[in-house]
Amino acid sequence: MRFSALAFLLSNAIVNADDYTHSETICIPSSTTINVKLNTHTSELGYYTVEGCEGIQPVLGLEKNVQYTFVQSDISNYYHPLGFAYYPDGAHEGVDELEPGIAPPGSSSTCTDDDAFLCPAPMYLKDGTYLGVYSNNAGIKAETGDEDFGLDVYEPEFFATSVDWSEAGTYSVALLFDVDEFTDDIFYFCHIHSKMSGRIKWVDGTGAPLSPTNSPTIDYEYEVAETFDQGCGTYGISSYQLPHPECPAEFVCDSDDNFSQCIDAMNCRMTAGMTAKGSSGSAAALFINMMIPHHRNAVNMAKALMYSGELECDDYASETPDCILTQIAMEIIAVQNHQIQNMQGIADEESYPGEEEDDCKVVIGTDGQFNIMSDSGMCVTPQKPDSASVLKLKACGKIGQRWVVDKKGNLKNTLSKMCILAAGKTLKTGPCKDAVPVYQGLDGTLNMVVGGMAKAATHNSAKNRLELKKPSGDASQEFSFEYK
């Protein structure tokens, strides 16, 4: 099994770091027709992207009294119907959404007088046909006061199978905000998955915000996939790269390809996550704490498959093997993420112990001894087998060449009981309390993070010692575990 770089993605051409970042710069749509997609790989749930805007969850700058149409025709929108609210996450948090019977907070609007039901609200459409009764937009329907703005038809259809949803028609949401005195920001969000709110700021004809302050605030940070995850198309598996004390030496046997090593890391995360104390004595609580990491693994596996580029599906609804796998993966990601949030909600409501609170660490990866072998077939060997010393490459079979993974993820020599650590740019053995974990990634390099940077163990052939250098993919940086 290969060691690989924590930051192997830096040389991976399919990764664009901008796809994973959020900017607070206001994006003014180039058209009143706004095409929305979902990038499922950017976080646990994925985040919205908007055509013409950079990054995830862009801050949109919209004008008052202008009709905008948010188009959700792309298949990535499956299970992600857009909503609009005066506060982040809308009904998920029990706060006011844009509805015909809810006046903008703090405004003197008369839109609710005498049950008028004429307050600003989205109008939900399918194939250009309005699904509701209410209207504040004569361009779609004559002004009509009513509670029905089409959401009760629109949202349930997103729960269909992905094939049925893709063939049902083009889904879109029209929004015209016509209360001039209200200048606070509003939010777009997902009606099915929470923690996916993006900010909308009102701007004038020049693009200047009517309210420079971001208010109300979003009380959570957007998740950012780490470098290893970005190369796999996953989220949350970077710290579970093998070797890991709570996991076996490998899950995918006799394979060094990138996808297999992504699978190794995600399976390790699930294995570590599915060890729990069961302290509550509740079958339901234990079910939730076991099922959430199981679901997350399914989601990550589906994400990684879709990200691999192996599946070719030009007609989503077709019944080719690649399209069927794409459909399965799409539904696993959308549906099981929703189920995870439902289970988390139940656990909170019932005051069950959380995953971290009830977690127990079962160490299973420290017994197996191994050699660390270079690409040339030589073994990593301390210069002084029984004490702290620099690391060299020597013919295998010598004393002091056996290693294990300790409980903190450090590489410990079985003879000296010392761990691999960095002394400047030189790698050596020393007290394990001074060591940092070594991670497996995808490019065959033995890596550790020093000073916030991922550095690769590199054989300096002139001095026959291991040094830390920037990962380059050179053969002098390739190592593997050889278990015996």
The tens digit of pLDDT for each residue in 77-136 reads 999 999 999 999 999 999 999 999 999 999 999 999 999 999 999 999 999 999 999 999
On whether both 165 and 241 belong to a single domain, the answer is: no
On whether both 345 and 374 belong to a single domain, the answer is: no
The crossing angle, in degrees rounded to 10, of helices 258-273 and 283-307 is 170
Question: Is residue 79 in some structural domain?
Answer: yes
Mean pLDDT computed over 309-326? 96
Q: Phi/psi zone of residue 461: left (φ > 0), alpha (ψ -120 to 50 degrees), beta?
A: alpha
On whether both 36 and 112 belong to a single domain, the answer is: yes
Reply yes or no on whether the pLDDT at 328 is more than 90: yes
Least confident of 205-219, 243-257, 330-344: 243-257
Domain count, the chain: 3
Tell me the one-letter amino acid at 386. Answer: D
Reply yes or no on whether the pLDDT at 14 is more than 50: no
Distance CA 286, CA 44 (A): 22
| Neighbour count for residue 8 (Cβ, 10 Å) | 28
Reply yes or no on whether the pLDDT at 17 is more than 80: no
Mean pLDDT of the chain: 91
**Nearest 5°: CA angle at 295, between 291 and 299?**
170
* pLDDT attached to residue 16: 59
On whether both 154 and 32 belong to a single domain, the answer is: yes
Mean pLDDT computed over 40-49? 97
8 pLDDT tier (thresholds 50, 70, 90): very low
pTM of the model: 0.80
* pLDDT attached to residue 441: 54
Residue at a domain's end among 163, 185, 202: 202
On whether both 415 and 465 belong to a single domain, the answer is: yes
On whether both 94 and 140 belong to a single domain, the answer is: yes
Mean pLDDT computed over 374-394? 91
Q: Which of 66, 68, 27, 73 lies closest to 50 in space, CA to CA?
A: 27
pLDDT > 70: what percent of the chain? 94
On whether both 155 and 195 belong to a single domain, the answer is: yes
Bigger pLDDT: 472 vs 251: 251
Provide the domain limits for residue 180: 22-202
The tens digit of pLDDT for each residue in 444-458 reads 678 888 877 778 899
Reply yes or no on whether the pLDDT at 442 is more than 80: no
